Structure 1
C-alpha cells in the first residue's frame, strides 16, 4: 500500500492523511482510525497536550521500548516531556485486530524520514466518553548503529585483544573517554577538548591489562565532562539511557561505560571513581561496580580530575567478570584476603593473612539517604542477617560527615583546577553549565584552605582506620534511586550533595568500594556498598558475590 504521511512539524498544516488499514479482523469500530491518525499527527507536531490526551489516564497505562517499561500515565507524560524534537514518519502498513466493540489492537509499521522502519503495537480502549485512548503501547524504533550518548567511537573491535586465551577471552570493554588508547584521542566528554587533542602513542596500563588478559576494546564510551559530575548527563552529547529506570539519569561520571554494559553492548566498563563515579551509575542501573584501592591500579595515561582521590575501576553485569577484570589489573601480592562470611572460621595460624570478614554500619551514613533507600537498606540487611549470610554488623561512629565532605571538596576542587584550570580558562563557554559552575568555584580555591584540608584529611583517615578496624563498612551506594532526567537543577544538586556525603569517605580513606545490585525501591535498583580495608579489592567482590547469591 502507499505510505500516507503524517503532517510535517509546524502549526499551520493540513490535517493528517487518512490511513487505510492493510488488514482488519472483526467489525471496525467508529472513531478508531480517526484516533490513530490523530495520534500520529500529534506525534509529528510534538503536541504534548494532545499526546497526553491520547494515552489513557491512571496507573495501569503502559509504554515499553528498548530502554525499558514506563508504568502509569504520569511516567509516560514525563518521559515524553523530556524528549526533544518532532517525528515525521509515514505508515507502511496498519493491521487492526478488534477484540470487542470497545477494545482493539493496532500494529503499525512506520517509516521515519530519517530512514529505517519502526514497529508499534498499541491496545486502544474506548472510554466512557466514547473517545479512543491508548492503554498499552510497545515501540520498536529503527535500531541506531551507534548511540552517540553512549559511545564516541566503536569498532568491531576498536582494539583487538592481545591474546586469544586468558581469563577475559571473549569479553568486550567500553573504555571511558579519559584513558589513552594508542592511535586515538581522548575527548573528556567535551567536543572542544576533543578537537584539540592529539592521538596517544601508548595505551594506558589499565587498558593494556585487560587486553593482555584476552579482552578486546569495543569502543570509547562517553563521560560527563572532565568526570566532574555524578549525574550522568552531558550537555554536548546527550544523556545515555538507563535501561533499568526509563526516563531516569544513568549516573556518572562513568555514564557511557555503565550504559554500554547495562545495554549488553560491552561486558566490562573500564571507568574511574573519584567521588562515586563507578558506584553511583552501578547503583542507578543495577550493575556491579568496583572502585579500586587508591593507587592499586596504575593511572598513567588517565586524564586526571583530582589525583588524591582518582581511582580506576570496572562495571559489569556479573561478579565473575568483575573479579576477573580486577584480578587482571591488580597486583596479587598486595591484596588482602578475607574469608567469605559463610565460610568456616580460619585456622589460628592463618588469622593474620586470612582474617574473617567483619562488618560495620554507620547510622549517620544511612540517614544521609532518602527515606525509601533507608527502608530498602534496613530491610535488605535484615534479610541477609536472618538468612545467615551476614553477621550482625557493629554500629560505628565515622565522625562528622559534613566536615568530611568539606575536606574532600576542598582538596578535590583545588586539584581539579590545578589539573584542568588552564584549559578551562583558555576556553570560555566550552563547558556545560553545571560543570562550568564547579570549575568556577574551583578557580577560587585558597592554597591555605587546601593545606588545612590536607592536614584535616590525614587526621580523618587515621580516625576512620581506627574506627573501622579492618571491618567492611556497609551503606547504600547512593542517596536515592536514579532521579528523573528532567528533574530541576536544584533537585539534582541536592541529590548530588547527599550522595557525596556518603561516597566521599572511601576517597578520604583510599579504600576500595564495591556496589552490589541487591536492593530495589519501587522496582528501581539501589546498590549495597561494601567499603573495605585498603587492598581488599578482590575480597570485597568475593564477599559481595556470596551475599548476592544467597540474598
Structure 2
C-alpha cells in the first residue's frame, strides 16, 4: 500500500495508480474543504450527463451540481483517511475516498473519474455521510413513537408527522422560530386533530418543521434549514407544512398533519408528488392549533396514497354530506391559468385531456366571478384580511422580539401591521360577495386547476423569483381559502421529471366525496404517453 500526502492509497491489483489520478482526487478534497466553488465546478465533467447522488437524491448535470454547492454554504470539515483505486479502462477509474468527519463517524465517497484533455474529471459521484440521529431540517423532535396510538381503527400501524403549530402533549409549540419555542409553555394535552388520528390507531412519530408562524409557502427556514424535497433534489420543499410533507415523501412517516390557510398543504403536496387536502373551513376541530388567520385556517393531511388520506379524513371529519348526484363536471376557469410558470399550462392541459379521455366531463367555465379582474380583487381582499388576522395573532410577540423573523416573513408582517380596521372590513365585505358569486357560478361543478403555479423552484432561486411564484400560486389557492371550500391536490402530472399537482376544489362539506372520486382521476393523470 502506497501513501500520498500521508493518505494511504490502495490500488486494486497492486500496480501503480493511473498517473495524476490520486493527485486529482486529493485536489478535489482540498477544494471541497476550502469551499472553492470555481475549482469544484472544474473538477466535474462539463455537460448534462454528470451526476452526483447522496441521501437526498440525484443531481444531474454539472450546472445542477454547481448550484447545489453554491447554496449549501460549504461541506462539513473532514479528513481523508484512505483512497482505494480500481482502474477500469484506459483513462477510466473508480475511486473510493474514505473520510473522517470532524463531527465524528465515518464517511465514504465513491467516484468515477475519466481522463480527457485537461486532465482527470469526475463523471459520477455518490456521497455517503454519517447518518444523523435527527435531521433538524425536517424534524424538531421524534420518538419511537413520540405518542402511542390512543385507540384502534383504520389508521392502525400508521405514523404521523405533526406540523409544529399543533399542541402535542408534553411539548411546547415552536412555530418554526427558536425564540418563540424558548418561551412557549409545555402543552398539557394534544390538539383535537392529533387526538382524532390517535383514536383511529395512528401513533405520533414526531413534531416536524414549519415555516415561521406558517406565513409562507416556500418551506425555507433560516433557523433550521429547508426540509429536503426527495422528489426534486436541490429544490425547495414547499410550505408551510414543509416538515410533515418532507417526512412523508422520505418515508419517515405515513401521514403529515398540517394546516392550510392559503396553500400550505396543497403547495408542498404538489412540489413533492403527494396527496394533500385542505378541508372545508371549520370541518376539523382547530382546538389546540396555533392560528395564523382563523377566518381561513384549516386542518388537513398529506400522504403518499389515497387510501391513507381517506382513512385520516374519515377519522377526523364529521359524517359525509350527501354526495353529488351523478358525476359532477370538472370546470376550468381560464383566468386562473394566467401567470403560470414555463410549461405548467401545457402539462395541466395534457392532464385535463387525459381526464376527458377517461370519461370525465371537463369543460371551460366563462363566468364573471372567475374572470381576471374578479380574481385579482378576490386575492387582494384575501391577502388584506389574512394579514390583519395574522398581525392580530402574532403582532405583539413580533414587536417585542425584533430581528427574530426572516426578511421575507418580516416584510409580510410589516405590511400586515399597516392594515387598518377599515381596510379589513372592506376586504371582508368583498370576500363575502366573491364567495356568493363563485358559489352561483360553480353550482354542482368542481373547479379544476394546477395546485401550484410552478414545479418546485430551485433552492438557490432568487428571492424575487420565489416571490413571483408565490404571488401567482396564491392567486389560485386563494379561491378555496376565500370560499371555505375543500381543495384536494392529486399527484400524477410531471414537468421535466418534477411533480405537479392537479387541484380539485369541491363544495363545502364534500371533502370525503372528493377523496372518494379522486382514485379514477389519479389513474388518468398518472398515465404516461
| TM-score, length of structure 2 as denominator length | 0.95
Which one of the candidate residues 73, 76, 85 is aligned to 2:65? 76
Question: Would the alpha carbon gap of residues 335 and 139 (structure 1) be closer, same or farther in structure 2, given more than 3 Å must change?
Answer: farther
| 1:22 to partner: Cα distance | 2.6
CA–CA distance in 2 between the matches of 1:505 and 1:544?
20
Please say if residues 414 and 442 of structure 1, whose CA atoms lie closer than 8 Å, have aligned partners that are also in contact: yes
Aligned pairs for 1:188-203 within 5 A: 188-203=175-190
Aligned pairs for 1:389-404 within 5 A: 389-397=359-367, 398-399=370-371, 400-404=374-378
Please say if residues 33 and 77 of structure 2, whose CA atoms lie closer than 8 Å, have aligned partners that are also in contact: yes
CA–CA distance in 1 between the matches of 2:464 and 2:94?
42
Which one of the candidate residues 330, 349, 356 is aligned to 1:385? 356
Instruction: Judge which range, 66-75 or 100-109, deviates more.
Output: 100-109
Which one of the candidate residues 318, 321, 341 is aligned to 1:335? 321
**Cα offsets for 1:166-214 (capped at 9, x unmatched):** 1001100000000111221001111111111111122111000000000
Aligned residue in 2 for 1:368? 339
| 1:18 to partner: Cα distance | 4.9
Aligned residue in 1 for 2:7? 19
1:148 lines up with 2:118 in the alignment: no
CA–CA distance in 2 between the matches of 1:362 and 1:306?
27
Aligned residue in 2 for 1:351? none
Which one of the candidate residues 19, 40, 45 is aligned to 2:29? 40
SS of 1:250's partner is coil
Aligned pairs for 1:72-471 within 5 A: 72-129=61-118, 131-163=119-151, 165-332=152-319, 334-338=320-324, 354-386=325-357, 388-397=358-367, 398-399=370-371, 400-471=374-445
Alignment coverage as a number of residue pairs? 520
SS of 2:170's partner is coil
SS of 1:281's partner is helix
SS of 1:371's partner is coil
| 1:27 to partner: Cα distance | 6.0
**Cα offsets for 1:453-474 (capped at 9, x unmatched):** 1111111000110111121111
Instruction: Judge which range, 193-202 or 392-401, deviates more.
Output: 392-401
**Cα offsets for 1:288-327 (capped at 9, x unmatched):** 1110000000001100000111000001111111110111
**Cα offsets for 1:335-367 (capped at 9, x unmatched):** 3424xxxxxxxxxxxxxxx44222100111122
Please say if residues 92 and 113 of structure 2, whose CA atoms lie closer than 8 Å, have aligned partners that are also in contact: yes
Aligned residue in 2 for 1:63? 52
**Runs of 4+ residues deviating >4 angstroms:** none
CA–CA distance in 2 between the matches of 1:355 and 1:426?
55
| 1:73 to partner: Cα distance | 0.7
CA–CA distance in 2 between the matches of 1:370 and 1:279?
17
Aligned pairs for 1:460-499 within 5 A: 460-499=434-473
| 1:435 to partner: Cα distance | 0.9
Please say if residues 478 and 526 of structure 1, whose CA atoms lie closer than 8 Å, have aligned partners that are also in contact: yes
Aligned residue in 2 for 1:345? none
Please say if residues 46 and 87 of structure 1, whose CA atoms lie closer than 8 Å, have aligned partners that are also in contact: no
SS of 1:185's partner is coil
| TM-score, length of structure 1 as denominator length | 0.92
SS of 1:122's partner is strand
Please say if residues 396 and 468 of structure 1, whose CA atoms lie closer than 8 Å, have aligned partners that are also in contact: no
Instruction: Judge which range, 94-103 or 65-74, deviates more.
Output: 94-103
SS of 1:36's partner is helix
